[in-house]
A and B are shown apart, each in its own frame.
Chain A
């Protein structure tokens, strides 16, 4: 099956700093990548959808200036949490999708802001 690599798996950062999370599709070209956030014991909430070479589309209530998404190539998307605060602590998961078909998920990044 297709492999999506997400890095880092976990990160601890100080309040006010920025954190970048990478999502790579290793053996296929992902025309679309999605970023999700999961709070403890809750389902995944879609944050934004990004298509290669164009601006990301954010879901309602997600601050685009706080969660910067870049999808510069067909195999890489990045999510940068800017000026992180403790309430941004969460589990962030990306998924990458071929033109049609399954969406494959990265292993997730646990962000803790202290």
Chain B
């Protein structure tokens, strides 16, 4: 089945850029998502990208997709303490199910 991997932890200083990486195995994935989860809360859809795109920018967020390497990244510009959360990437499988990565805990220090 689909395997989605993320690094577990990222620490940055306020104002720096954060880059969260994700790798996946199913080359037929059509939609790739980034979700944010704050402590004790559900998931918030941040952004998503179609597989026929290389890049998508949405305000402070930039998503890069390298289909050849099956690598997805989320860049957060000017990271703020309010961005501290767990970030999940998720990809669709051939059966249109969403498979989640392990989540990356982002800690932003002042």
Contacts of B98 in A (CB 8 A): 34, 46, 95, 103
User: Mask for A78-102, Cβ within 8 A of B = 1, else 0?
Assistant: 0000000000000001010100011
- Given A34-B97, A43-B88: A105 and B42 interface contact (C-beta under 8 Å): yes
Cβ contact within 8 Å between A104 and B45: yes
* B7 lies within 8 A of chain A by Cβ: no
Cβ contact within 8 Å between A102 and B48: yes
A42 to B44, CA, bound (A): 17
A36 to B96, CA, bound (A): 15
Query: Closest CB of chain B to A17's CB: distance in Å?
Result: 24
* A1 lies within 8 A of chain B by Cβ: yes
Q: How many residues of A contact B (CB 8 A)?
A: 23
A20 to B88, CA, bound (A): 27
Of the stretches B59-67, B74-82, B100-108, the one at the interface is: B100-108
Contacts of B48 in A (CB 8 A): 102
Cβ contact within 8 Å between B100 and A44: yes
Cβ contact within 8 Å between A107 and B99: no
Cβ contact within 8 Å between B43 and A102: no
A102 to B41, CA, bound (A): 19
**Which of these, A42, A49, A107, A108, contacts B97 with CB under 8 Å?**
A49
A44 to B45, CA, bound (A): 14
Contacts of B100 in A (CB 8 A): 36, 43-46
**Interface of A toward B, CB cutoff 8 Å:** 1, 6, 32, 34, 36, 42-46, 49, 93, 95, 97, 101-108, 110
